[in-house]
Every structure is written in structure tokens, then in C-alpha cells.
Amino acid sequence: MSLEDQILTNMICQIDKNVRIFTLDTGRLFPETYDLIDETNKHYGISIETYLPDAQKVESMVKEKGINLFYKSIENRKLCCAVRKLSQLPRALEGLDAWFSGIRKDQSVTRFYSKVAEWDEENGLLKINPLLNYKDKDVFQYIKDNNIPYNKLYDKGFTSIGCQPCTRAIRPGEDIRAGRWWWEEPEHKECGLHQK
């Protein structure tokens, strides 16, 4: 439900509102993110499919590692991302030949070498990144010019929005992904959804 995702939703809805649009709900999202899902559905007259993690796997992980396990180690954080987010992606992609992503090169060092169209080896289908070469200013201008609903946390200094306990607003001069997993080094700042 990032700015980029909202742009893609806008583009898709101008072509065909019957295209499947989905989001992965980790169970730890900001209230503003849930509000945006509802607002987006109403704005476009669509129903975004929401995929939730397996409750038993979440319960087992929390019982073994604790509710805020992600602060303890990169391994724990990646486990949490895998259980809460990555595990439902195969279900969401089932039966598809391709999927669209809102990633951009200038978001992080881990995304710089991505391509507009690339083979997603992990999921066995084509991954298309149409906004890959957009700059921040392009994204904000597109949102403004097209009156697209967006997460109100962007107005509070957030530049990348994920799970509530793992995301904060950035400080002046910080990288745009600095608010995600701020306790980790930049080369680790991916949930695994967009890694090669």
C-alpha cells in the first residue's frame, strides 16, 4: 500500500478494474494502512484481495521467540517477515503468469540492479517493475496530479511503510529506507519479497 502501489492501482483501474489486486497483511500493519485499503476500494470501486499469514505459524513463532522477536537479530526479523508476509505470497500468485511490483531503483541498494521485467525465480513467474526508474519527485507528482489516495503517514515523515513495530518516520538527511528496520545495516533492509 505504498505510494508506488497506489500509482499501479490507479494505472490498472484506468485499464481494467477486474485485474486482481492484492496485498499481504502481516497482522502488524498501521491503522492508517487498513484505512487506506478501505479508502482505495471505495475510490476505485474495487475489492483488494487481502492475504493473511497462517495463524498457527504466527502463534508458534511468537511462543518460541517472543512477540517482538525481530529486534533481537536479523535472523529473527527475517523469520518474522517470512512467517507474516512471505508465506502468503505463493497463494496470492497462484495461477498467475506475471505480477507487478512498485519497487524503484533509488529506494535502496538492494533494489538498484533490478530490471523493469525480470524472472522471479522464487515464484516461477515474470515480475514487472514499471516504476523502476521513477524518482521520488515523479512519484509525488503522479499522486498529486491524479488525486490518488495515499497513506497519511507519508505526511508525518514516513517514506517507507511496513509493519508498525518495524517502521518509523525518517530524520532530516536520512535515506528514504532508513525508517525501515532502522536497527539494521542498509544491505539487510529487505523482507525478502523483492530479493534476487
Distance from chain centroid for Cα 42: 21
Q: What is the DSSP letter of 86?
A: G
Mention every residue, 6+ apart, whose C-beta is less than 8 A from residue 145.
none
Residue 36 contacts residue 159 (beta carbons within 8 Å) = no
Is position 163 annotated as part of the catalytic site?
A: no
Distance CA 58, CA 25 (A): 13
Of 10, 44, 41, nearest to 130 by C-alpha is: 10
Q: Which residues are catalytic?
A: 191
